[in-house]
Amino acid sequence: MSNEVNVNTTPMKASQTHKKQEFLKLGVIQHIDVTRMPGIVPVVDAMQHMAFSARDLHRAADIYDRMLKDTDCGVILTLAGSMISAGLKKVIVDMIRNNMVDAIVSTGANMVDQDFFEALGFKHYIAEDRLKSGLFDGELRDCALDRIYDTLIDEEELRICDDTTQKIFEEMEPGQHSSREFLLAMGEYLEKQGGPKCADSIIYECYKRDIPIFCPAFSDCSAGFGLVTHMVNRGDGPRASWDGGKDFYELTQVKIKNPTTGLLMIGGGVPKNFTQDIVVCAEVLGHDAPMHKYAVQVTVADVRDGALSSSTLKEASSWGKVDTVYEQMVFSEATIAVPLIVGYAYHTGSHKARKAKRWSQIFEPTAIA
């Protein structure tokens, strides 16, 4: 009797029309594969001797390369903005497969609405240029198409994603879980289903390689709908709940156990701030953890409004979070800068001498519950 409440999988706005296929005619987003592009290296190398953002981009790529060469260093990737729907999924999967990242801290949307969504076999669609104007959003709504700037999502498919998260949560042990545990359960689900229904999945790949993923605002995504419907379903009975404090505890444990860390930050927001804060949290708990030794951020955010997305890495050093020797901000939209930075580090090959940290093993099977 526990399954009376379910995700309403047909959005009320979906009045099926022939228009829908017309809107989707430009085809699907395809993820860039930098492993096939060794030609990135001379481009980035040349940028070292230029000015402005090119020089910054080179230095960011060089710092990421230094993180990989420093085998003590654990690399934490933070993700904000719609990066997976934008075509950067394979870049991140290739980082995972090649020991170029040890933990991921992300917005829920990137992991659940976008990566897990594609792992269920769905796709993101290229929107026509005119749709960016916003003037057709009413028509898109009638077709149950959601827009991310120049990209479209089929809302009916997204509801299936919402619904699937609920089903997974229904199977979990009742109790308080970190987002890492929920994402692990999603990886297990994919495994049981015979793997993702697409070539690459971050959640699945991390599951297989003991790479923890944290979503410190986990209810703010497709999984949020699963959390709520699961909660309503269970009523007063025991249920799996997301314990956000546990996320912070767990990521701090990583810092305590592996003091040398480097951050590769795509966008800012909660993932950036949350990850920077673990240095302070370790200290609050009485551990003398060093600041993040390396830090790179790619963002278009403006530094002048005091927002977290844009606060400079130098500023973070006043808080005792980020050391200032190896830090670099790159003011560029990520779809251009990230393939260059990661492609550069991939083809210089420093990852080859690097071992997987398998940080998920810190928590299993001894995590606080």
- Per CB under 8 A, which of residues 298..317 are in contact with a second copy? 300-309, 311-312, 314-315, 317
CA torsion sign, 125 to 127 to 133 to 139? negative
Residue closer to a second copy, measured from CB, 101 or 281: 281
Which of 334, 341, 342, 345 is close enough to bind a second copy by CB under 8 A? 334
Scored b (16 or more CB within 10 A) or e, 132-158 reads eeeebeeebbebbbbbbeebbbbbbbb
- Per CB under 8 A, which of residues 76..135 are in contact with a second copy? 80-82, 85-88, 107, 109, 124, 126, 130, 133-135
Least CB distance to a second copy at residue 201 (A):
18
- Per CB under 8 A, which of residues 24..63 are in contact with a second copy? 27-33, 36-43, 46-47, 49-55, 57
Residue closer to a second copy, measured from CB, 50 or 353: 50
How far apart (Å, rounded) are the C-alpha atoms in residues 339 and 43?
A: 12
Least CB distance to a second copy at residue 75 (A):
21
Least CB distance to a second copy at residue 355 (A):
29
Nearest to 275 by CA among 159, 102, 143, 25: 102
Q: Cβ atoms within 10 A of the Cβ of 265, count?
A: 26
321 is catalytic: yes
Contact 248, 274 (CB under 8 A): yes
Residue 324 is inside which H or E element, if any? strand 322-331
Least CB distance to a second copy at residue 296 (A):
14
Least CB distance to a second copy at residue 175 (A):
10
Least CB distance to a second copy at residue 60 (A):
11
Contact 216, 247 (CB under 8 A): yes
Distances (CA, A) of 294 to 47, 210, 327: 20, 23, 6
Torsion of the alpha carbons at 115, 339, 262 and 44, rounded to the nearest 10: 180
Contact 199, 193 (CB under 8 A): no
Residue closer to a second copy, measured from CB, 260 or 317: 317
Least CB distance to a second copy at residue 317 (A):
5
Residue closer to a second copy, measured from CB, 99 or 339: 339
Residue closer to a second copy, measured from CB, 27 or 194: 27
Of 208, 321, 352, 355, the catalytic one is 321
How far apart (Å, rounded) are the C-alpha atoms in residues 195 and 189?
A: 8
Residue 124 is encoded by which pair of tokens? 């993101």
CA torsion sign, 264 to 270 to 273 to 277? negative
**Per-residue x/- track, 257-276, a second copy (CB under 8 A):** ----------x-xx--xx--
Cis-peptide, bond into residue 365, ω within 30° of zero:
yes
- Per CB under 8 A, which of residues 7..26 are in contact with a second copy? 7-8, 11-13
- Per CB under 8 A, which of residues 126..185 are in contact with a second copy? 126, 130, 133-135, 137-138, 140-141, 145-151, 155, 159, 162, 176
Strand order in the sheet with 145-148: 125-126, 151-154, 145-148
How far apart (Å, rounded) are the C-alpha atoms in residues 58 and 220?
A: 34
Q: Which single residue is written with the structure tokens 């007063």?
A: 236
How far apart (Å, rounded) are the C-alpha atoms in residues 306 and 308?
A: 7
Least CB distance to a second copy at residue 209 (A):
25
Size of the site for a second copy (CB under 8 A): 129
**Per-residue x/- track, 210-249, a second copy (CB under 8 A):** ------xxxxx---xx-xxxxxx--xx----xxxxxxxxx
Residues recognised as catalytic: 321
